[in-house]
Amino acid sequence: MRDLELNMVFDPSEVLRPSSFQDAVETLDSSDSKIVAGNTSLYSLARKGRLENIKKLVDISKLGISYIKEAESQTSEEKKILVGAGTTFQEITSSSLINGRPEYAGLKEALNKSPPQIRNVATIGGSICSAVSFYDLPIVLFALGTTLKFFSKKEGEHLITIDSFFQNPALYGKSLLIECQFSSSPNSASSFVKLCRRMSGYAVAMTAARIKLDRTSREIDDIRLVIGAMTKTPQRLNQVEEELRHKEPSIETITRMCEKSADLVHDIIPSVHASTAYKKRVLPILLREAITTAVERATER
Amino acid sequence: MSSTSQEQNLLFKEKTLVGVPLQKVDSILKVTGKALYTKDVRLPDMLHAKIKRCPYPHARILSIDTSKAEQIPGVRAIVTGKDFPVQQNEDTPAVAFSEALYANQAVVAVAADQRRTSELALEMIFVEYEPLPWVTDPEIAMTPGKTPTKIVHPSETWYEDPNVGRHIKIRKGDASASFKECDRVIEEKYTTGMVSHFQLEPVTFVAQPDPDGGVSVWATSSGPHKTQYELSRYLGMDADKIRAKVPFLGGWFGSKEECHVAAICAKLALKADRPVKLELSREETLTATGQRHPSVITVKDGINKGGKIVARQIRAIFNGGAYSSLGNNVVINAVLGAVSVYDIPNFHMDCYRVYTNEQPGTPMRGPIGFQIAWAIECQMERIANELGMDPVEFRLKNVLKEGSENAIGELMESISHDKVLEQVTSAMKLNGQGKSSIPQDSTQENKWVRGRGVALSAKWAPGGSPHQAMVRVKESGKVEVWVDVVENGQGIYTGITQIVASEFGIPSTDILLMPLVFGSDSSMSGLSGGASASRQLVNLGNAVLEASSNAKKLMAERASKKLGVPSHDLDVREGRVFSKTDFRRSLKISELFLRAPIVGYRTVASFTEGVEFVGYGTFYFRQGKLDPETGMTIGGRISPFYMSTAQIAEVSVNVETGQVRVEKIVAAADVGVAINPDLAKGQIVGSVCMAMGAATSEELVFKDGKIINANLADYEIPSIFDVPLVIPILVENPLQNGPFGAKSAGEPSMFPTAPAIRNAIHDALGIWVNDLPITSERVLEALQKLREN
Ligand SMILES: Cc1cc2nc3c(=O)[nH]c(=O)nc-3n(C[C@H](O)[C@H](O)[C@H](O)COP(=O)(O)OP(=O)(O)OC[C@H]3O[C@@H](n4cnc5c(N)ncnc54)[C@H](O)[C@@H]3O)c2cc1C
């Protein structure tokens, strides 16, 4: 038997800093190129030998996509926030558009889980486009029902839901993410619950919830539940959502529904020191905590 | 230390630095980035080496084809197992010869102008393997008929067939017979996983061929002489031609006893005739160098009605990995850990180190004792609980008393078992109440339940290898100290400085500690056994005191005529030689020197006629042996002394997820006399944090014979956010033969942390977890078991 386990060297020969989306995607068109944003995830892929064929790095810092702002046309019912894909975690958590708002409380919790050194450079775009299920931020963005604005050579600027992105992230490998859009409505709130083995580690399991309560009946009007670090990509729990929609959010109902959740999730992948069985056992607990927290927050509004 | 200088010490008490929390003498160097580490060493024309490693846990090497790699421009040397003398022992070979015994064992190494070239060359080297059956479970490996493979080293037979590299027996009294007469017999099995030292600085070496055919090596090692003599064996080269230098170490904890890696570096340098640097990556450090031995330990105890343990039987199995190196030596620590705390009339122990297809087990901070303390202190809690006794009272009832003899026949002297227990209980205000005395968190529907647990241990202090020192007194009264002392962050440079400064009654700034300037260097100082085993402060401390005293004698002899005082009546302190009986009769040290031009007329230097004021000192504790059949000591003690240590942990446990949060740990340790109390406390706090990691989150996990979490994201050492409030308590019970009464502080506090945390979890929830690490999953499983019963 021949040992052919190659561990090739990451050796990019060019770092390009395009100033237009068009230039960026032109370069991305070749198979030996890759986008670099905060470089906190990319470098570890390189170390693992996953970027052996990459020769060109496309640095997106000159594209003017670091911002967080409110969309211009706002209705009184819905307020939309636009975040450039190159915006760092720190810029988002310190924004007045996010702070103190129950609808984004989960977002802030997720952002603050990363160590400060990472928060200062890691970008929202890098976090999503890494397309792994154990990063915190995408789980909440998923629960918030974020819309992603991509730019590709073929389609130019176009919007897709984060739901469809996570259905097949590989489809967007040669596209540039330029913006994330999420909106909030009155009586809504979000939450994020992460279980890890240390205070600052990757999640063993996590859940995020966004809940909108009906203004008069106080029933659950709308709900989005997402789990991370359990399956290969983040997953929405449509069935549990369905069961809870238009129900009164009593702790009994929530607990009962959550208990079913473990059986609804398939292909749970174990991590070091957390077996599939363990993840199954804690899922209902994390889910319950995420839902009750979000309900509490929405009720307080 | 002479008694006269002890008296003077009292007279000049204000001039001693013993007990002073002096700022570390190397702190400025470190915070300004000027301290030199092996990684910083860059030599002209230096090559960079890389190692190709075996992808299988066990494989025969059929062929190695280096022809393509040799043709790559910039490749200067390639070494395989054939470049080294045939090894006649069970040590990890530099490079595997015909068989690789663990995944990631070195198979071939390259040195090239650039690191990239070396990496590329590795890709162009083709190795043909025949994968062989492998075993990683030591219990299977040592069972005849069950083990899938036998690990055979050249010229070495096992202690016992199959795969037992060492077996130590202790037979005191008759444990089996006593069990029959006991009121209660309790037997439990405890395990610990493979834990890494995770020192900040990975294993690194730089080797340079010397003009005389020898080699100089900069090493991440715990002692330059260890590297020198080990390299001599590995290279088959005269030790006198090997110069080993150890600059600052970025953490050690036992991790860098990897002379097999140094041998690769040196061999490449000699072959290429150019300097070579070999830096292991974090992954290589975790998968290809030694880690803490995993263990499986069964403890069986017979107890009488009053709560006295009458008989104990221990079967301890240590997974030694594929080779021994220091491993077969350090398993004796299992015995020292097991006999040094409790007084048990019938004591039987069988301790095995077993070969498996994992990387070799190596010493790690309190080697083997950590595992034994885990088993015994878990067991003590279990018994106390079953007897309905207070855990502290139960321990006190069974503890070895000052002046008693332990199970291997050593006299227990200068121990403080009761004292450390008292100190932690009163600091935690435990008063035997446990959980009920802790305010529970009622806000979160009691999901987090608090509990407290205690553990008591003792750490030995091995002698074994000699430590030598030299001091030279200068005209200015300053004192040069030449010792091979290894500063791995623990503060030993400061400790040695304080000891010599105190002996001469001079400020610390008047001590010229040469390793601070040059690093430790085997060719510049006397022999030293290095930093391992909590021994530098005591062993080197005694050596520098003897050296100081000898230098003083020379000065006294020289001053005797001038002062008209017999030399035995003279002492040297505070820059003067003076009569101990009449302080007025004294002279300045400078008066013992002559001055003469050294360059032209104006540049003048001082010198002494005849010998310089240089004193030498050697500290060597001659260790006895254990009788192979009874385990009783022959020809003297094994450990010169023991250090008592106790801790109480307070934890919160989440009943739903099984998460454990360590809230607070009170840790008391008998350090003899704290030469520098801040540094001694630092050692306690550091130990507790490190042990907490091993207790709650750390373990290298194997799948299919390979480690799957060899990185910081998956291995998970505690971060600063995980560290609880640690309250260190120094218990000072001076050691008669310690420098100024000092014992050691580096390792003992590693022992009680894990069992104290586990016992606290029991206090909180009534569950027993017998396996380390105590993961959330294990806690939940235990809870489930409890509910089912
Ligand atoms: C020490 C450390 C600790 C960490 N701790 C946490 C933690 O606690 N929780 C957590 O969730 N995460 C954690 N992370 C991960 C961190 O969140 C991610 O590395 C980060 O989000 C990636 O963002 P980046 O800007 O650095 O992306 P990069 O590393 O630059 O890129 C990541 C990937 O996204 C692609 N990409 C980037 N931007 C775009 C874009 N605009 N359009 C298309 N593709 C793009 C890149 O090509 C690459 O494939 C940690 C990372 C480190 C190194």
Residue B602: pLDDT above 70? yes
B156 part of a folded domain: no
Query: What pLDDT, in 10s, does the model give residues A18-71?
Result: 999 999 999 998 889 999 999 999 988 887 777 878 899 999 999 999 999 999
Residues B697, A278: C-beta atoms closer than 8 Å:
no
Question: Does ligand 1 lie within 6 Å of residue A135's CB atom?
Answer: yes
Say if residue B477 is in the same domain as residue B415: no
Residue B12: pLDDT above 50? no
Residue with tokens 């899938």: B148
Shortest-distance Cα residue to atom 44 of ligand 1: A129
Residue B132: pLDDT above 90? yes
> What is the mean pLDDT of the segment spanning B428-457?
72
What pLDDT sits at residue B530? 86
CA distance A282 to chain B (A): 6
B432 part of a folded domain: yes
Which of chain A's residues have a Cβ under 8 Å away from the Cβ of B777?
A: 273-275, 278
- Residue B789 CA to ligand 1 center (angstroms) comes to 47
B172 part of a folded domain: no
Q: Give the span between the Cα atoms of B649 and B635, in whole angstroms.
A: 40
Say if residue B492 is in the same domain as residue B410: no
| A–B CB contacts, 8 A cutoff, strictly below | 76
pLDDT in 10s for each residue of chain A, 301 residues: 333 333 456 778 889 999 999 999 999 988 899 999 999 999 888 877 778 788 999 999 999 999 999 998 777 777 899 999 999 999 999 999 999 999 999 999 999 999 999 999 999 999 999 999 999 999 999 999 999 999 999 999 999 999 999 999 999 999 999 999 999 888 999 999 999 988 888 999 999 999 999 989 889 999 999 999 999 999 999 999 999 999 999 999 999 999 999 899 999 999 998 999 999 999 999 999 999 999 999 998 7
Which of chain A's residues have a Cβ under 8 Å away from the Cβ of B127?
A: 3
Residues A272, B701: C-beta atoms closer than 8 Å:
yes
Say if residue B750 is in the same domain as residue B612: no
Residue B569 CA: distances (Å) to CA of B3, B474, B553, B556, B585? 12, 22, 10, 8, 11
Say if residue B597 is in the same domain as residue B530: yes
Residues B128, A274: C-beta atoms closer than 8 Å:
no
- Residue A115 CA to ligand 1 center (angstroms) comes to 13
Residues A278, B116: C-beta atoms closer than 8 Å:
no
> What is the mean pLDDT of the segment spanning B124-129?
98
Asked if A155 is an interface residue toward chain B (Cβ–Cβ < 8 A), one would say no
- Most confident region among A38-42, B271-275, B515-519 by mean pLDDT: B271-275
Which of chain A's residues have a Cβ under 8 Å away from the Cβ of B55?
A: 3, 5
Say if residue B105 is in the same domain as residue B73: yes
What pLDDT sits at residue A185? 85
- Residue B474 CA to ligand 1 center (angstroms) comes to 59
What pLDDT sits at residue A3? 36
Q: What percent of chain B has pLDDT over 70?
A: 96
CA distance A191 to chain B (A): 17
Which structural domain, as residue segments, surrounds residue B654?
Answer: 295-462+626-788
Per DSSP, the three-state class of B589 is: helix
Residues B775, A204: C-beta atoms closer than 8 Å:
no
CA distance A206 to chain B (A): 12
> What is the mean pLDDT of the segment spanning B327-333?
91
The candidate with the shortest Cα–Cα distance to B553, out of B495, B527, B592, B585, is: B592
- Nearest residue in B to A200, CA atom: B719
- Nearest residue in B to A202, CA atom: B713
Residue B686: pLDDT above 60? yes
Banded pLDDT at B9 (limits 50, 70, 90): very low
Residues B780, A273: C-beta atoms closer than 8 Å:
no
Q: Select from B574, B601, B621 the last residue of a domain.
A: B621
Residues A278, B713: C-beta atoms closer than 8 Å:
no
- Ligand 1: atom nearest CA of B712 is 1
B375 part of a folded domain: yes
Q: Give the span between the Cα atoms of B295 and B138, in whole angstroms.
A: 9
Which of chain A's residues have a Cβ under 8 Å away from the Cβ of B656?
A: 282, 285
Say if residue B590 is in the same domain as residue B667: no
This prediction has a pTM of 0.95
What pLDDT sits at residue B131? 98
Q: Give the span between the Cα atoms of B349 and B626, in whole angstroms.
A: 13
> What is the mean pLDDT of the segment spanning B552-577?
96
Q: Quick one: three-class SS letters along B702-736?
A: EECCEECCCCHHHHCCCCHHHCCEEEEEEECCCCC
> What is the mean pLDDT of the segment spanning B126-130?
98
Residues B775, A3: C-beta atoms closer than 8 Å:
no
Shortest-distance Cα residue to atom 34 of ligand 1: A126
Q: Select from B576, B591, B621 the last residue of a domain.
A: B621
Say if residue B718 is in the same domain as residue B634: yes
Query: What pLDDT, in 10s, does the model give residues B346-376?
Result: 999 999 999 999 999 999 999 999 999 999 9
B149 part of a folded domain: no
Question: Does ligand 1 lie within 6 Å of residue A37's CB atom?
Answer: yes
Q: Select from B571, B604, B621 the last residue of a domain.
A: B621
Say if residue B642 is in the same domain as residue B763: yes
- Ligand 1: atom nearest CA of A178 is 41
To test the contact with chain A by mutation, choose from B656, B702, B708, B783 the residue with the greatest count of A C-beta atoms within 10 A, namely B656
CATH number at residue B209: 3.90.1170.50
Which residues make beta-bridge pairs with B157?
none
Token reading at B459: 């750490």
Q: Give the span between the Cα atoms of A193 and B444, in whole angstroms.
A: 15
B521 part of a folded domain: yes
Shortest-distance Cα residue to atom 21 of ligand 1: A127
Question: Could you tell me if residue A277 is left (phi over 0), alpha (psi between -120 and 50 degrees) or otherwise beta?
Answer: alpha
Token reading at A178: 């330029």
Within the 79-138 window of chain B, which residues sit less than 8 Å (CB to CB) from chain A? Answer: 116, 119-120, 122-123, 126-131
Banded pLDDT at B546 (limits 50, 70, 90): very high
Query: What pLDDT, in 10s, does the model give residues B634-645?
Result: 999 999 999 999
Q: Give the span between the Cα atoms of A130 and A137, in whole angstroms.
A: 11
Token reading at A185: 């409505």
The candidate with the shortest Cα–Cα distance to B83, out of B278, B271, B262, is: B271
Within the 82-101 window of chain A, which residues sit less than 8 Å (CB to CB) from chain B? Answer: none
B736 part of a folded domain: yes
CATH number at residue B553: 3.30.365.10
Residue B433: pLDDT above 80? no
- Ligand 1: atom nearest CA of A136 is 11
- Nearest residue in B to A205, CA atom: B657
Residues B775, A9: C-beta atoms closer than 8 Å:
no
Query: How many domains does the structure of chain B reveal?
Result: 3
Choose the closest CB to B656 out of A271, A273, A285. A285
- Ligand 1: atom nearest CA of A85 is 41
Say if residue B483 is in the same domain as residue B341: no
Token reading at B295: 């263990």
Report DSSP letters for B346-400, one per residue: EEEEEEEEEE-SSSPB---SSTTHHHHHHHHHHHHHHHHHHHT--HHHHHHHHBP
What pLDDT sits at residue B498? 98
Pocket test for ligand 1, best of A41, A89, A117, A139 (most atoms within 8 A of CB): A41
Residue B435: pLDDT above 60? no
Banded pLDDT at B120 (limits 50, 70, 90): very high
- Ligand 1: atom nearest CA of A43 is 29
What pLDDT sits at residue A9? 60
Token reading at B670: 């008998």
What pLDDT sits at residue A46? 81
The continuous run of DSSP H or E covering A54 comes out as: none
Q: Give the span between the Cα atoms of A198 and B104, in whole angstroms.
A: 28
Pocket test for ligand 1, best of A57, A127, A142, A162 (most atoms within 8 A of CB): A127
Residue with tokens 């009458």: B310
Max CA separation in chain B (angstroms): 94
What pLDDT sits at residue A200? 80
Say if residue B224 is in the same domain as residue B328: no
Which of chain A's residues have a Cβ under 8 Å away from the Cβ of B129?
A: 1, 3
Which of chain A's residues have a Cβ under 8 Å away from the Cβ of B773?
A: 273
CA B317 to chain centre: 20
Which residues in B603-750 belong to E strands, given as ranges?
A: 603-607, 614-619, 625-626, 633-634, 642-654, 660-670, 702-703, 706-707, 725-731
- Ligand 1: atom nearest CA of A138 is 11
- Residue A176 CA to ligand 1 center (angstroms) comes to 15
The candidate with the shortest Cα–Cα distance to A162, out of A116, A208, A193, is: A208
> What is the mean pLDDT of the segment spanning B662-684?
97
Pocket test for ligand 1, best of A27, A33, A35 (most atoms within 8 A of CB): A35
Say if residue B638 is in the same domain as residue B781: yes
Question: Does ligand 1 lie within 6 Å of residue A24's CB atom?
Answer: no
A3 vs B120, residue with greater confidence: B120
Which of chain B's residues have a Cβ under 8 Å away from the Cβ of A9?
A: 116, 119-120
Say if residue B520 is in the same domain as residue B559: yes
Within 8 A by CB and 6+ apart from A179, the residues are A65, A82, A83, A84, A85, A148, A149
Which of chain A's residues have a Cβ under 8 Å away from the Cβ of B198?
A: none
What pLDDT sits at residue B439? 61
